[in-house]
Every structure is written in C-alpha cells, then in structure tokens.
Amino acid sequence: MILKIHRKDLSLQQIEDFNFWQHKEFHHTGATEETITQENKNDYKDDLFYFLTDDTGKTLAMVVLFTVEPVFFMKKDYQILTFTGLVATEKGKGYGKSLITEVKQDIISSGLSCFSFCHLEVFYEKCGFGIMLNALNRFQYSGENCAILDMPHIVYINGEDNLIESIINYPDEMVTLPIPWW
Ligand SMILES: CC(C)(COP(=O)(O)OP(=O)(O)OC[C@H]1O[C@@H](n2cnc3c(N)ncnc32)[C@H](O)[C@@H]1OP(=O)(O)O)[C@@H](O)C(=O)NCCC(=O)NCCS
C-alpha cells in the first residue's frame, strides 16, 4: 500500500521510521539532513511523505516530495517539484522503483518541472526519469554558504513550463536555487 501524508500529519512512528532511515542512508553524503520532531513537523507542513508499506504496516520504502521556489533561470522565476530521501528498507526487491513510480505519476499530473540530485543514475533511468550526468556545476545557491554534495547527477521530468528543456538547451546559463542542495 502507498500512503501519502503531509508532514504536519505524520505519526510518531512514521517520524521515527523516517529519521532512522534518513540518518542511516544519508549521513555520509553531505545532503541536507534534518531530524523531524513533533515540535518542528509544522515547518514545511505541506511536504508530502510517501510510504510504501506491507500488510502489517511495516515501511518498505519512503521518499518526500516538495516544492522549491523561486528557481531562477534566464531572467525567469519558476516553481519546481523535487524529491529527497528515497530509501528502500530492503534493497533489490522493487520497493524503491514501485514508490518512485507513483511519485513520478503525481509529478507528471501536476504539470510542474521536477529535478533532484542523485548519485544512482542507472536506477532513476530505469524508473523513467531523464538524467543530466555530472551537471551539478550548472546549479548555484543564492545564499552564501554552500554544502558540498556527493550527488553529481540531475534526475528530472520536464514540465509544461519546459524548464528542463531550456536548462539543457542553454548550457552556459546557471540555475539559481533559493535553498542549498537537498
Ligand atoms: C536506491 C534505492 C532506493 C533503490 O531501491 P531498490 O528497491 O533497492 O531498487 P529496485 O529493486 O526497485 O530496483 C529497480 C531497478 O533499478 C536497479 N537498481 C537498483 N539499485 C541500483 C543501483 N544501486 N545501481 C544500479 N541499478 C540499480 C535494479 O536492478 C532494478 O532494475 P530492473 O528494473 O532492471 O530489475 C535503494 O537502493 C536505497 O535505499 N539506497 C540507499 C539510499 C539511496 O541511495 N537513495 C537514493 C538517493 S539518490
């Protein structure tokens, strides 16, 4: 079963599960890591958490879908969808693909462009995403401090605004992000 739950509505068990797996899988990558608590779950309250669960309610895979804006490219501001924290709690059983395929359908239905940073390009390619290899240097953060991210590739879905196609077609132009890498 796939559950879709806004951050503000996460149960204690879901918060614990999510924090545990995010720390376990991503602590070493330098990706933005935040511990969710009952107190801060109303921050970013509309972030949408996806959980693939078995019949007993055990979590098999998880990921978060959220919007980022304004993403600035060639004198225009965009709102994009992105996702982070995809984890399959048991690898190689199709759980990751099954969950991200559902997310992909929701992204396509929204009409928005989507991009995220990844190091597992083969996996995302198999899940039907577009890939820009080693494209991290096309992106900059509008603030001062920049995290070092061990996720060199961009995984994307082009939306109705054609943002991704423009990014690919104008390789000398930078994309400016309002938050550091995620
Ligand atoms: C990445 C991850 C979510 C994949 O989930 P999974 O359930 O193990 O993968 P699936 O079983 O759904 O695999 C789907 C397809 O991708 C392939 N694949 C999965 N992991 C892969 C990898 N690391 N490298 C290459 N191909 C991979 C599978 O062989 C399968 O191919 P097929 O459809 O031809 O049979 C999981 O390995 C994981 O939790 N990794 C740790 C966290 C992480 O790195 N997340 C991604 C952040 S960018």
Mutate to test the pocket of ligand 1, among 126, 129, 153, 182 (most ligand atoms within 8 A of CB): 126
- The alpha carbon of 90 and the centre of ligand 1 are apart by a number of angstroms equal to 10
Task: Tell how far the Cα of 128 is from the centroid of ligand 1, in angstroms.
Answer: 13
Residue 138 Cβ inside 6 Å of ligand 1? The answer reads no
127 CA distance to ligand 1 centroid (A)? 9
CATH number of 2-177: 3.40.630.30
**pLDDT of 147 higher than 70:** no
Q: What is the chain's length?
A: 182
Cβ neighbours of residue 171 under 8 Å, at least 6 residues apart? 138
Confidence of residue 46 (pLDDT cuts 50, 70, 90): confident
Beta carbons within 8 Å of 88's beta carbon, 6+ residues apart: 60, 61, 95, 96, 99
Report residue 78 as tokens: 């965009």
Which amino acid residue places its CA nearest to atom 23 of ligand 1? 120
Residue nearest to atom 34 of ligand 1 (CA): 126
Going by alpha carbons, the residue nearest to atom 27 of ligand 1 is: 123
If you average pLDDT over residues 29-49, what whole number do you get?
A: 83
The domains of the chain are located at 2-177
pTM for the model stands at 0.95
pLDDT tens-digit series, residues 1-32: 999 999 999 999 999 999 999 999 988 765 66
Question: How many whole angstroms from 123 Cα to the centroid of ligand 1?
Answer: 5
- Pair 30, 147: CB distance under 8 Å: yes
